[in-house]
Structure formats: structure tokens, C-alpha cells
Amino acid sequence: MREVIGTVEEAYKAFNSGQVIQPAYTCIHLPPSQGEIDFKLGYCEANEIISMKASSGGFPNNPPSTACPAAWEPSSCSTPEPARSFA
């Protein structure tokens, strides 16, 4: 847990010192009652990690109507070096 706390602390420091590029998220609103999908991106200059996350929500009738989960949140982190990819 100490490692996690330290990592989160370093992330906040990087963000607050301008080392993080984090554009506004993009959202796709599906037709009424069909929910939405959000896409979020970020880049940290300190460790050259690129992060991407897609998340969905607002699907109140799942899984009964479609056998799909009510939320979907795959995430990916990687660096410019192919050998350093995180999932």
C-alpha cells in the first residue's frame, strides 16, 4: 500500500507541476436511455507514460436486455518503448 500511496503522490506532483498533458475527455452520447461512452487520455513527461481509458455508463437495462455489463472500463498504459507496456 505504501508503494501505491507514493505512486499517487508522485502523479499529483507531476500534474501540479505541469508535467502532465491531459486533454478534455471525449464523450459519445448514445440515443436516449442507451448511455454514453467516454474516452480519456493522458501523458506524463516525468516517466513518459501514455494512458488511455474508455468507460461507459448509463445502461440501466443491462444485462437483462443485452447480456452486456452496465459499465465497461478498459484501460491501457504504455511508454514510447514497446517493451514497457502496461495493461
Whole-structure pTM value: 0.64
Q: Write the single-letter amino acid at 76.
A: S
As a whole number of Å, the CA-based R_g of the chain is 16
Q: Identify the residue whose cell numbers are 514497457.
A: 84
The yes-or-no verdict on residue 7 having pLDDT over 90 is no
Average pLDDT, the chain: 80
**pLDDT reported for residue 63:** 60
Q: Identify the residue whose cell numbers are 484501460.
A: 75
Domains by residue range for the chain, with CATH: 2-86 (3.30.1780.10)
The yes-or-no verdict on residue 64 having pLDDT over 70 is no
C-alpha cell at 56: 461507459
pLDDT in tens, 15-40: 999 999 999 999 888 777 677 888 99
C-alpha cell at 27: 464523450
Lowest mean pLDDT among 52-56, 57-61, 64-68: 64-68
